[in-house]
Amino acid sequence: MNMDAAVEVLNTTFGFDQFRQSQEDVISALLKGEDALVLMPTGAGKSLCYQIPAIVRDGVGVVISPLIALMQDQVSALSQLGVKAAFLNSTLDYEDEINVENQLTNGKLDLLYIAPERLNSPRMLALLDRLQIALFAIDEAHCVSQWGHDFRSDYLQLSLIEQRYPSVPRIALTATADDRTRREIIQNLHLADAQHFINSFDRPNIQYRINLKTKAKEQLLEFIKAEHQDDAGIVYCLSRNSVDKTAQWLSQHGIKALPYHAGLTKDERANNQKRFLREDSIVVVATIAFGLGIDKPNVRFVAHIDLPKSIEAYYQETGRAGRDGLAATAWMVYGLQDVVKLRQMMSNSDANEIYKRVERQKLDALLGLCEIVTCRRQSMLAYFDDKLDEPCENCDTCLVPVETWDATQAAQKALSCAYRTEQRFGAGHLIDVLTGKDNTKVRQFGHQSISTYGVGKDLSANQWKSVYRQLIARGLLTVDVDGYGSLKLTEQARSVLQGEQQLLLRKDPDEKIIRKGKTTSTLIGEDADLWEALRACRKELAEEQGVPPYVIFHDATLQEMVARRPFSETEMRTISGVGEKKLRSYAQPFLTIIEEFAIDAPAAQTSTTPAAVKKTDTVAETLALIKQGFKLDEVADKRKLTKSTISSHIEKLMHLGEVTLAEVIELSDEEINRVKELLLEQVPSDADTYPIKPVYEILGGEYSYEVIRCIRANLINEFEAEMA
C-alpha cells in the first residue's frame, strides 16, 4: 500500500502539511501489515500513528484505551474532522450499543474505541470475528507493566489479539517507558518481532523548575499570579486534605480552582474533570490519581507542591502540560520535610525487599534530579537513556546557574552532631544543637555539653536545613523506620567524616531571580485583542457543539491565525490544523473576525486589501440571495455552505442594518418574542453576548442554533437602537 493515501489524509482531513518525528515510518510499517511499538512523548502526535492507517486500510481500526471518561471526547474530536468513529463502553445504553454494533457490521466505521476489559468479553470477540479489522492499537501500553505505576491487569489479556487475529497489524503506544517497562511491554504483548520506534522524549516547550519549599501555598499562588493568570493548569499534592485546602486557598485568592481526589463522589469528580476539559482557565488541584489520559492540549502549567515518587511519575505528570507544543511550565517546590517523609514512607512500606529496592533507587534518582546543579533536562533524559548534547537553556539550572559551595566541613559537623546524639533525633533538634539553642529538649538530653553544641553558629538554621536535606538526598543520612524521623549515618558518610571526600552542595537560589520573564508567549496590543476575539468565537462554537474548545481548533491553530491573518478560505486551508471538514464548518466565522480587525486597524495590514475584498464578496453573495427572497436555510443550500457560516454572515449584515429578521427566518412575532425572552433570562457570557446553547436546550431543539443566533442579532440591534 503506498503512502500517498496517508499523506492525502494528513493534509485534507487533519490539516497538517507534514509528518512529525517517526509518524511517517510508523504509518508505513502498519500499511505494510507490520507490527509496531511506538515510544513517543505526549503532544508529539501519537494518535495519528494509528488513526491514519486505520482510515487508509480497509476495515475498522480497533483502539484499546483505558480512558473511558475520555473516549467520548476523542470520538467527537474525530467527528469534527469528518472521521467515522465510535466507542463501546459502559457509559452507553443498550440501544446506542446496538447502533454502534450495526455500524460496525455494515462497515460504516473507521475507528472503534474500547476499554481493555471489553475486548476480553465473548460478545465482543464474536463481533470482532465477523468484522474486517484494519489494525489493533493498544494505547497507554505501559499499563501492561507490573512495575509501572499504572498497571492494569486487563492489559495482560491483550496478548490474545495476536493469537486470535495473527494477520492484523498491531501497534502499541506509550509516552512513558524506561528500559524495564519497555521490555515488559514487548514480552507481555508479544511484540518481539515488531518494529520499534523510539523517539526523543524531550519536550522542549516545557520549562522545568524545582524550587526550595518555604510556604508552599503562598509560593504556588505567587507563581500562578505572576506567570499563569487565567491559564489552565494542574496542581499535584500528596494527600486529599492538602488537595482540599489548596483548592480552597486558590479559590479564595481569585483563581478558578477545583479539587480532584478519591474522596469526592463519582459525580463530583466527573463534573470537575469535565469543567477542566471544557473551560479555558480552570486549575485542578489533585492527588496523583488525576490525569491518566488527560488529553487537554492547552494545559499551560503543572505544579507539584509535594514530590512525586519517581522521575517516571514526574515526567508523566509534567508531560500533561503543553501538549499543543506551546510554552508551558513544570514547576515544583520541595524541601527537607518532603525528603524525610518520602524516605520514611519507603522504609515503612510492607512491600517485599526487591520491590523496595527498586522504589528506593527510583526515589534516589528523583532526589538527584532535585539537587542537581547542571541542566535538569539533560539529566532527566539521560535517565530514559535519551541523550541531549547541549544544556537546554530552558530549565531553572540553565537559566540561573546554581552556585555551589564547599560544604565538607559543614557536612562533617552535621553528621557528627547526629552521631554524638546517638542517631536518635531529627533535623530540627540537630539544628538546635548545632546553632547552640538553649531549650528544654536540649537540656533534657544534656546536649549543651556535647562537642558539637554551638559549633554551627556560622550558618543560619535555614542553611543547616539545606545541608541536612542534601545529605539525606545524597544518601549520607537515612531516615529511621520508627516513625520519628531520626537521622542515621550510612556507610557513605564515613569518607566525608574522615575528610577523604570533598563535598560540594548547592546554594538554594531565590526563585524571583529565575522569573526573568513570563514563559508563555505573550501577545500584546491588537494581536492580543484578535486572539481574545478568536478564542471567544471558538468558545461559542464549542458550546453550540457541546465539545471542549480545543476540539474546534487548538490554541496553536488560533495563534497561527493571529500571526498570519488569513483572509480567504484558500489561505485558511494552509493554517496547520485546518482540514477540509473544519474549513467548511468553521472557517467563515473566524475569517469574519480577522477581516473586521483588518478594517478596524488598516495600519496593521499590508498586502491584505485584495483578499479583504474577496472576503466581503462572500457576505455580499449571501446578501444578494437574501434580497432575492431566500431564507437562511435556502441560502445555505444554494451556496453549499453550512447554516452556521450563513448565520455568521447574517449576523454581520443585521449589525450593518442591511437585512431584517423577517427577511431571513419565517417565524411569528410570538415565537420570536418567546426566544428573545429566554435569551434575556440567560447570564451573558464573557464575550458579553447571550449564550445560545441553554436556550436551544430549553426549547428542546425546536429552533436551530442558527435561527436563535439570528434572533439574538436582532435583539442586540434593538438594544443598540435604544442606546443611540
Q: Which stretch binds Zn ion (CB under 5 A): 280-288, 387-395, 422-430, 594-602?
A: 387-395
Our CB check for Zn ion shows the closer of 395 and 477 to be: 395
Q: Which stretch binds Zn ion (CB under 5 A): 223-231, 373-381, 524-532, 637-645?
A: 373-381
Our CB check for Zn ion shows the closer of 392 and 415 to be: 392
Q: Which stretch binds Zn ion (CB under 5 A): 127-135, 246-254, 264-272, 369-377?
A: 369-377
- Beta-bridged to residue 512, according to DSSP, are none
CB of 382 to Zn ion, least distance (A): 12
CB of 465 to Zn ion, least distance (A): 26
CB of 365 to Zn ion, least distance (A): 17
Our CB check for Zn ion shows the closer of 392 and 611 to be: 392
CB of 454 to Zn ion, least distance (A): 40
CB of 204 to Zn ion, least distance (A): 10
Binding of Zn ion at residue 377 (CB under 5 A)? yes
CB of 164 to Zn ion, least distance (A): 47
Our CB check for Zn ion shows the closer of 393 and 718 to be: 393
Our CB check for Zn ion shows the closer of 74 and 397 to be: 397
CB of 297 to Zn ion, least distance (A): 24
Q: Are strands 232-236 and 283-286 parallel, antiparallel or unpaired?
A: parallel
Our CB check for Zn ion shows the closer of 155 and 201 to be: 201
Our CB check for Zn ion shows the closer of 330 and 715 to be: 330
Q: Are 16 and 576 in contact (CB under 8 A)?
A: yes
Q: Which stretch binds Zn ion (CB under 5 A): 106-114, 398-406, 620-628, 704-712?
A: 398-406
| CB neighbour burial string for 76-88, b if at least 16 within 10 angstroms, e if fewer | ebbbbbebbbbbb
Put the strands of the sheet holding 283-286 in their side by side order. Answer: 206-212, 328-334, 299-304, 232-236, 283-286, 257-260
Rounded to 5 degrees, φ, ψ at 482 are -75, -10
CB of 518 to Zn ion, least distance (A): 18
Distance of CA 193 to the CA centre of its chain: 32
Those residues with Cβ within 8 angstroms of residue 142's Cβ, 6 or more apart along the chain or in another chain: 148, 150, 174, 176, 177, 181, 185
Our CB check for Zn ion shows the closer of 393 and 406 to be: 393
Rounded to 5°, the CA angle 481-478-369 comes to: 125
Q: Which stretch binds Zn ion (CB under 5 A): 47-55, 246-254, 388-396, 581-589?
A: 388-396
**Residue 161 carries which DSSP code?**
H
Distance of CA 223 to the CA centre of its chain: 19
CB of 546 to Zn ion, least distance (A): 42
Q: Which stretch binds Zn ion (CB under 5 A): 16-24, 216-224, 371-379, 686-694?
A: 371-379
CB of 438 to Zn ion, least distance (A): 45
Our CB check for Zn ion shows the closer of 392 and 707 to be: 392
- Beta-bridged to residue 195, according to DSSP, are 36
Our CB check for Zn ion shows the closer of 65 and 378 to be: 378
CB of 391 to Zn ion, least distance (A): 5
Query: Whole-angstrom Cα distance, residue 428 to residue 495?
Result: 24
- Separate counts of helices (H) and strands (E) for the chain: 36, 17
Our CB check for Zn ion shows the closer of 220 and 395 to be: 395
Nearest to 454 by CA among 436, 467, 478: 436
Candidates 60, 395, 430, 556: give the one binding Zn ion (CB under 5 A): 395
Is the CA virtual torsion 130, 135, 136, 137 positive or negative? negative
Q: Which residue has the cell 480587525?
A: 597
Candidates 258, 398, 414, 417: give the one binding Zn ion (CB under 5 A): 398
Return the C-alpha cell found at 387.
Answer: 541523550
Q: Which stretch binds Zn ion (CB under 5 A): 49-57, 326-334, 367-375, 542-550?
A: 367-375
CB of 394 to Zn ion, least distance (A): 6
Query: Whole-angstrom Cα distance, residue 45 to residue 477?
Result: 44
Our CB check for Zn ion shows the closer of 377 and 447 to be: 377
CB of 222 to Zn ion, least distance (A): 23
Our CB check for Zn ion shows the closer of 171 and 392 to be: 392
Q: Which stretch binds Zn ion (CB under 5 A): 56-64, 78-86, 277-285, 395-403?
A: 395-403
Those residues with Cβ within 8 angstroms of residue 454's Cβ, 6 or more apart along the chain or in another chain: 433, 434, 435, 436
Candidates 77, 141, 232, 375: give the one binding Zn ion (CB under 5 A): 375
Q: Are 240 and 262 in contact (CB under 8 A)?
A: yes
Neighbours of 346 (CB within 10 A): 18
Q: Which stretch binds Zn ion (CB under 5 A): 385-393, 406-414, 440-448, 463-471?
A: 385-393
Nearest to 596 by CA among 525, 661, 656: 656
Using CB under 5 A, count the residues that bind Zn ion.
6
Our CB check for Zn ion shows the closer of 139 and 202 to be: 202
Distances 342 to 86, 219, 345, 364 between C-alpha atoms, Å: 43, 21, 5, 10
Candidates 299, 313, 392, 473: give the one binding Zn ion (CB under 5 A): 392
HSE-CB for 633 with a 13 A CA cutoff: 6
Secondary structure (DSSP) of 586-641: HHHHHHHHHHHHHHH-GGG-SS-HHHHHHHHHHHHHHHHHHHTT--HHHHHHHHT-
Three-state secondary structure call for residue 40: coil
Secondary structure (DSSP) of 260-290: E-TTS-HHHHHHHHHHHHHSSS-EEEE-TTT
Binding of Zn ion at residue 238 (CB under 5 A)? no
Residue type, 411: A
Q: Are strands 487-489 and 477-479 parallel, antiparallel or unpaired?
A: antiparallel
Our CB check for Zn ion shows the closer of 377 and 554 to be: 377
Our CB check for Zn ion shows the closer of 395 and 493 to be: 395
Binding of Zn ion at residue 506 (CB under 5 A)? no
CB of 375 to Zn ion, least distance (A): 3
Query: Whole-angstrom Cα distance, residue 184 to residue 27?
Result: 23
CB of 368 to Zn ion, least distance (A): 15
CB of 373 to Zn ion, least distance (A): 11
Residues that bind Zn ion (CB under 5 A): 375, 377, 391-392, 395, 398
